[in-house]
Amino acid sequence: MVAIQRELLSHQLEELIKSIPDEGKFINLLHEILGFYSDRVYHPGESGTVKYSVPSYRVPNPLIQMIARKLSTDLPIDNDRFHQLIDLIWKENWLETQLIAIELARAVYHNQPDVIFGYFYEWNTGRLDRIVARRMGDAFLPGIIPDYSDDVLKLLEDWDVEDRLKNRNALITMKIMVEDHQFENFPGVFSIFSDILSSLDTKILPDATSFLHSLIQRSPVEVIYYLKQQSIVIENNLFNNLIRNASNELNEPNKSDILAILRERKNRR
């Protein structure tokens, strides 16, 4: 991975901005910049490396931020043209181009929740890499929860519960939502979580555990009652692992209350 050379990068970004009238040239230059700073020692399948569901240059995150900041502040284009540019960058379908598009949308339209929700809805119709889903949630959800939380949950409800990637991204999205104290629709997340629990597997167990921990922190009484009900109907043995894992990070009395669910479940079987 090439270290970011600020003077050189500044020149590269100036050339990128000059190329805006020619979309093809703009996209080529953007890929050249990302390729220049890519991780050239990465080898697919290498132990300890993170796998993505889309192609990635594996550039440092500050580079993403610097590109997005430059484009959002220095481009001499109107609002409609910005929409076109963001869509153009997103549709390149690389990890980095999607992250840049997210940061651009947040920077330009942060005061327009209707526009931000439009991007969130449209981009979530595809199968997003978890890194992209998390960045989008962090960037978009705080600004749209007051007006669009029910719409976000409706979108998640329509996802295929047999799709592991979709389930993982739903858990990531709902975790961000329940951690925001503007959010109050707990029955909505219970409904979606119930569907996910029915097809829970070891690949998404860590995300389910993380979500459940955040959910308990927000509304312990409601969540523990909900889990008691689920423990009666859920046959999946990973439910036990989920409860046990979530309890590890809890304090009393929540820890004892949630472990009691496991004891009651064992006694019924």
**Terminal C-alpha separation, the chain:** 54
211-238 mean pLDDT? 92
pLDDT at residue 48 is higher than 60: no
Domain that holds residue 34: 1-109
Query: How many domains, the chain?
Result: 1
In-domain check, residue 159:
no
Classify residue 224: in a domain, yes or no: no
Give me the pLDDT at residue 40, please: 61
pLDDT of 85 higher than 60: yes
Assess if residue 243 is contained within a domain. no
> Is the predicted pLDDT of residue 109 greater than 60, yes or no?
yes
3-state secondary structure at position 112: coil
pTM of the model: 0.90
> Considering the domain boundaries, does residue 210 fall inside one?
no
Does residue 3 fall inside a structural domain?
yes
Identify the top-confidence range among 70-74, 107-111, 171-175, 200-204: 171-175
